[in-house]
Amino acid sequence: MQDFVQHLINGTSLGSIYALIALGYTMVYGILQLINFAHSDVYMMGAFSAYYLAMFMGLQNSPGVATLASLLAAAMIGCSLLGLAIERFAYRPLRKAPKLNILITAIGVSLLLQYSAQIIFGADPKVFPKVLEDSVLIDFGAVQLKSLDVAVLIVTVIMMLALNFLIFKTKIGKAMRAVSQNMTVASMMGVNVDRVISFTFVVGSSLAGVGAVLVGMKYPKIDPLMGTFIGIKGFVAAVLGGIGSLPGAVLGGLLMGLSEEMVVAYLSSTYRDALAFGLLIIILIFRPSGLLGKKGVEKV
Amino acid sequence: MRVPMLTFLGLMILGVIAEFTLDSFVQLMLIYVLINMILGMSLNLVNGFTGQFSLGHAGFMAVGAYVSAYLSTLFPDLTGGMGLVTFPVLALLGGLAAAFAGYLVGLPSLRLRGDYLAIVTLGFGEIIRVTLLNMPAVGGARGFYGIPGPTDWDLGGFVISKFLIGYAQAMFWVVACFFVIWRVVRSAHGRAFLSVREDEIAAEAMGVDTTKAKVRAFVLSSFFAGIAGSIFAHYANYLNPASFGFNRSIDAVIIVVLGGMGSLTGSLVAAVFVTLMPELLRPLQELVGVDVRMVVYSLCLILLMILRPKGLFGSKEVFELVRKYVRKTS
C-alpha cells in the first residue's frame, strides 16, 4: 500500500510533465489541426538553452529557487523564439496546402532540429546543471515526498493556472478560442489570424521549455534525441484526453504518467512504451474522440 | 501477363549489367532501393489511393521480416539455386503473416479518421516493435543473427552471384507489386478505394462499404510491406527491432508524399531519391568536415513541401507527364 502511494506520487510528477508537453500539442492542433512533430524537438532545444544559460552564468552548482526561475525563463524564451521561427518560415507558407504536406513539413523540421542539434551540441549526452537540492521534504516512513516532485507539481500548477487565465480571461485568449472554432469567421470579425497562430506557437513552445527544465531537473541528462520519446508520449497524452481540449491534455498527461509508473512498478519496464500505446488504442476504439474531446458532427 | 514478364526480363538484363559494373556497396544500395520501392508503392495504396494516413508501415515490414526469417531458420539448407525457389515462397509467407497482422490492426482502427488513424497505426507499429524486442526466440534486443540468405550458385564453373539472386528476387516482387497495385486501382475494388479518398460520405451514399474498402487496401498494403521485410531480412542476414522504428515508417511516408500521392511511378522515383540521397551527400560531408547530410536532407524535404506541395509528380504517372510534355512541344 505504501509502495502504491509512493508510485502515485512519482506518477503524478511524471504525468504533470507529460501534461505540459501535451498542452503544446493540443493547442497547436486545436488551431491548425496539425500534429506538430517539431514540438518534441522544441522541447529538446529548451533543455539545451537552459543548459547553456547555466554554463554562461556559472549556475551549474548553485541549486536554488533563483536558479530554477532563471533556467525556466531561459528555456521559455529560447523555445518561444524557436516556435515563432518554425511557424513563420515552415508552416505559414503552407497555410492553404493539404494537411499531409504540413505534417511532412513538421517531420522535416523535427529532423532538421535533431540533426542540427547533433552537429552543434554534439551527440553525446550532457549533464544538466543541478537545479534544486534533492531532499526529502516530508517523510512518512515508506512514503517520501521529495523536493523535486513538489517543485515539479508547483511549477506545473502555476503554469496551468497562468494558461487558464491567458485563454479564458484575456483578449488574445478569446481570439485564440475564436480562431480554433472557425478561422475564416474569426478573421472576418477582425481577428489577426496569423498573429494569433504565432502567439499560440509561442505559448505552446514555452510550455515545452518549462517541461524541458523540469525533466532536466529530475533526470539530469540531456542529449539531442531526448525529445523523441517524451514527444510521442506527450502527443499520445493529448490524443488520449481528446486533442484540442486543454483539460483533456492535462488529464491525458496524468493518466499516461500514472499508468507508466504502475506498469514499471508492477509489470515489466520493457513493456512500458507498448502499454502507453495499448492504452491509447483501447480508448480510441471505444471513444474515438478521446476522453474529453468533442464529438464532431460531420456535415455534407 | 506479357507486359509484367517482359518488364521483369528487361530489368533482369539491367541486373546482369549491374552485376559486372557496380561494386558490392552500390549493389547493396540497389537492393535497398528496390525494398524501399516496394514499401513506397504499398504505402501509396493506403495513403495515396485510399486517402487514409498510416504511420505504422514499418511494423508490418517487421512482421514479414521476422516471420520469414524465423521460418527460414527451420530449413537451413537454402544455398545456391534453391534460393530462387525458396526465398519467394518465404517472402510470400512473410507477406501473408503481415497481411494477417494488417487485418487485425485495420479492422478496429480504420473506423477512425485522419490524424487519429495516423496515431493508432503509429501506436501499432510501436507495439509490434516492442513485442519483438521482448521475444527471446527471435533474438529480442540483441537482434536476430544468422538468417540464411541468398548465396553464390555454382553451376560447374559458372557462378551466379549472391547479388544477382537477391536482385532477381527483389525485382520480381517490385514488378509484381507494381502491376498488382496498378491493376487493383483500375478494378472495381480500386474504384471503391478512390471514392473513399475523394469523399467518404458520398462513397457510402453510393453503396460502397467504406470500412471494408479501407481494410482491403490496408491488408494488401501490409502484404507487400511484409514482402519488403522478408527481402530485407534475407539479404541483410540480420534483423534488429530498432531498424523497424518510427523513422522507417516516416521514410515510407516521405517516399509516398515526395513521389506524389497516388502516383506509383512517382513512388519508384522517390524511393531512389530517398535511399540514395544520404549517400550522394557524402562528398558534401567530406567538404564541410561535419556530418551535414541529414540536415540537408531535412531542409530539402521542407523546401520541397513548400515549393512543390503535390510531390514530384502529383497524382500523375511519370509517362503521363512525359506524354503531355511531348505533345506540347511537337
Do B291 and A236 make contact, defined as CB atoms within 8 angstroms? Answer: no
Does A195 reach chain B within 8 Å, measured CB to CB?
no
Do B306 and A94 make contact, defined as CB atoms within 8 angstroms? Answer: yes
pLDDT tens digits for range A160-214: 999 999 989 999 999 998 998 888 899 899 889 999 999 999 999 999 999 998 9
pLDDT tens digits for range A34-72: 888 899 999 999 999 988 888 888 776 777 788 888 888
Do A107 and B115 make contact, defined as CB atoms within 8 angstroms? Answer: no
| Contact call for residues A18 and A25 (beta carbons, < 8 A) | no
Residue A59 is given by DSSP the state -
| Contact call for residues A189 and A196 (beta carbons, < 8 A) | no
Does A35 reach chain B within 8 Å, measured CB to CB?
yes
Question: Which residues of chain A are within 8 Å of residue B301 when distances are taken between CB atoms?
Answer: 104-105, 107-108, 111
Query: What is the percentage of chain A residues whose pLDDT exceeds 90?
Result: 23
- CATH number of A2-286, picked from 1.10.10, 1.10.287, 1.10.3470, 3.40.50: 1.10.3470
Residues of chain B with pLDDT below 70 are: 76-83, 114, 327-330
Rounded-to-integer distance, Cα B87 and Cα B99, Å: 18
- Give residue limits of the domains in chain B: 2-245
Report the first-to-last Cα separation within chain B, whole angstroms: 33
ipTM of the shown complex: 0.77
Write the residue in B111, B115, B134 that is nearest to A35 by C-beta.
B115
Do B309 and A277 make contact, defined as CB atoms within 8 angstroms? Answer: no
Give helix A99-121 / helix B246-259 axis angle, nearest 10°. 130
User: How many angstroms separate the CA of residue A24 from the nearest CA in chain B?
Assistant: 16
Contacts of residue B116, Cβ cutoff 8 Å, sequence gap at least 6: A239, A284, A288
Rounded-to-integer distance, Cα B242 and Cα B63, Å: 13
pLDDT value at residue B78: 61
Write the residue in A268, A274, A300 that is nearest to B126 by C-beta.
A274
Interface test with A, best of B115, B302, B304, B310 (most A CBs within 10 A): B302
| Contact call for residues A177 and A27 (beta carbons, < 8 A) | no
Rounded-to-integer distance, Cα B49 and Cα B191, Å: 9
Rounded-to-integer distance, Cα B132 and Cα B241, Å: 6
Phi-psi region of A28 (alpha: psi -120 to 50; beta: other; left: phi over 0): alpha
pLDDT exceeds 60 at position A299: no
- Give residue limits of the domains in chain A: 2-286
pLDDT value at residue A295: 63
Mean pLDDT over the full length of chain A:
85
pLDDT value at residue B38: 93
User: How many angstroms separate the CA of residue B208 from the nearest CA in chain A?
Assistant: 17
Write the residue in B127, B292, B301 that is nearest to A278 by C-beta.
B127
Do B116 and A228 make contact, defined as CB atoms within 8 angstroms? Answer: no
Interface test with B, best of A96, A105, A121, A263 (most B CBs within 10 A): A105
pLDDT value at residue B80: 58
pLDDT value at residue A297: 56
Q: State the Cα angle at A70 between A64 and A72, rounded to 5°.
A: 100
Q: Which of A105-119, A130-144, A201-215 has the lowest mean pLDDT?
A: A130-144
Do B130 and A273 make contact, defined as CB atoms within 8 angstroms? Answer: yes
Do A94 and B130 make contact, defined as CB atoms within 8 angstroms? Answer: no
